[in-house]
Amino acid sequence: MTAEQWLTRIFADRAPRRFGSGWWSGVLSIALGLLSVAAVLCLHFPQWLTMPELRGRYPLPLVRGAIDSAILVTLGLAGLSMLLRQRKALGLAGLGMALGAGGVAIPNARPTRVHIGLDWFVLGTLTTAALFVPLERAFALRREQGPFRKGWLTDATYFFMSHALVQLMSLLVLVPATWAGQKLAVVPVQTIVQALPLAVQFALIVLVADLAQYAVHRAFHAVPLLWRFHRVHHSVTQMDWLAGSRLHLVDVIVTRGLVLLPIVMLGFDPVAVFAYLGFVSVHAVFIHANFAPRSPLLERWIAMPRYHHWHHAIEPAASDKNFAVHLPMIDRWFGTHYMPDQIWPNGYGVAGLVLPDGYGKQFLSPLANPRPTDGI
């Protein structure tokens, strides 16, 4: 039995999951308990587990109070689940997560040269899950698809790694792109750009970044060597808020670096750049979500879930379509737009493509010889 199968037996047992059955309180107790433990570890080992850029900005009294409150809520939810549910596995697991306390002393250790962004992972999980899990439950595209669909643990691992490896991402993406962008910068153009209002700069960043994204994304589909890495993303067969996290590290480094390069070259104001980074971090999750908003007007001008779901569609007619991430008009410009009116895909993935589950196995999968059915 795989780890995912074992956890799914706990999370997704056959007992009822309706409100009042103890299922939601049990699952929430486990999730909140895990985040509480992670936050406590950040307090114990801040030099190893927190981002230096954020470390000195946390209001520690509020942080300690939030952790203690979360632990108390975890205990209450676990107890409620045990009270309501015949099987006690969810409640007991949540109870086991409620460890530690927010009042731990913070050591006066010297900053380390190497760190992981566990605090960034906690913040990302709280904000992203709090937004998209309720949306997927209330306005689900596929209501029969539960949160613990096949591959959920693999994608949760990708989500964790994308946040925890923030220092590595900075070294491999931000530093080279910034250096190259400054070397290639045209000062007169930067002067014009920096004189624009911040709102105009933000709109231009979205356009410039998506043009770069379109070119890189299309190359990852067209070049067999690059496809070996990008096919990891297209191995997802069920879409939800976690599915967008399934990206090979090489895919992430190349794409983010080449998208960031023109932004640095044009000299946009840092405020506009940070606004774009915040936008793309939410929008990238949004377009993969198991969420079915309907707005023909918005769908024409901004990428909505239906537009990007067709990029992942199993239907042959949708192959190599919808490469832009934010602006569908870019695909219309280059003849790669595909979105049948009011229709959603029947399924997702690539015909004949089956990759092993697990972050490590998928990380190594580009090194394996591709089968004839793994085509691009």
Tens-digit pLDDT profile for residues 246-292: 999 999 999 999 999 999 999 999 999 999 999 999 999 999 999 98
Q: Which of 293, 140, 266 is nearest to 209 (CA)?
A: 266
Provide CB contacts within 8 A for 347, sequence distance 6+. Answer: 237, 313, 314
The pLDDT of 143-167, averaged and rounded, is 90
Q: 185 near 267, Cβ under 8 Å?
A: yes
User: What pTM was estimated for this model as a whole?
Assistant: 0.89
CA distance 310 to 321: 8
pLDDT of residue 17: 67
- 103 pLDDT more than 60: no
CA distance 266 to 205: 9
Average pLDDT of the residues of the chain: 88
- 372 pLDDT more than 50: no
Q: 21 near 85, Cβ under 8 Å?
A: yes
Which residues are registered as beta bridge partners of 313? 348
What confidence tier does 102 reach under pLDDT thresholds 50, 70, 90? low
Please indicate whether residue 295 or residue 344 has the higher confidence score (pLDDT). Answer: 344
Compute CA distances 65 → 12, 28, 96, 109, 305, whole Å: 32, 19, 20, 23, 37
* CA angle in degrees (0–180, nearest 5) for 263-218-229: 95
pLDDT in tens, 292-315: 887 888 889 999 999 999 999 999
Q: Which of 306, 324, 314 is nearest to 236 (CA)?
A: 314
271-290 in b/e burial notation, b at 16+ Cβ within 10 A? ebbebbeeebeebbbbbbbb
Please indicate whether residue 246 or residue 5 has the higher confidence score (pLDDT). Answer: 246
Residue 135 backbone dihedrals phi, psi, to 5 degrees? -65, -40
Using the 8-state DSSP alphabet, how is residue 105 labeled? P
Please indicate whether residue 373 or residue 294 has the higher confidence score (pLDDT). Answer: 294
Tokens (6 digits) for 92:
């007991």
What confidence tier does 362 reach under pLDDT thresholds 50, 70, 90? very high
Q: 26 near 77, Cβ under 8 Å?
A: yes
pLDDT of residue 16: 67
pLDDT in tens, 164-179: 888 888 888 888 888 8
Residue tagged 């695909």 (tokens) = 331
CB neighbour class for 71 (10 Å; exposed up to 12, middle 13-18, buried from 19):
buried
- 31 pLDDT more than 70: yes
- 101 pLDDT more than 50: yes
Which residues are registered as beta bridge partners of 348? 313
pLDDT of residue 375: 53
Torsion of CA 178, 226, 327, 238, to 10 degrees: -120
Please indicate whether residue 315 or residue 44 has the higher confidence score (pLDDT). Answer: 315
CA distance 278 to 276: 5
Strands (E), 96-178: none
Tokens (6 digits) for 175:
């530093």
- The identity of residue 316, as a single letter, is P
CA distance 104 to 3: 32
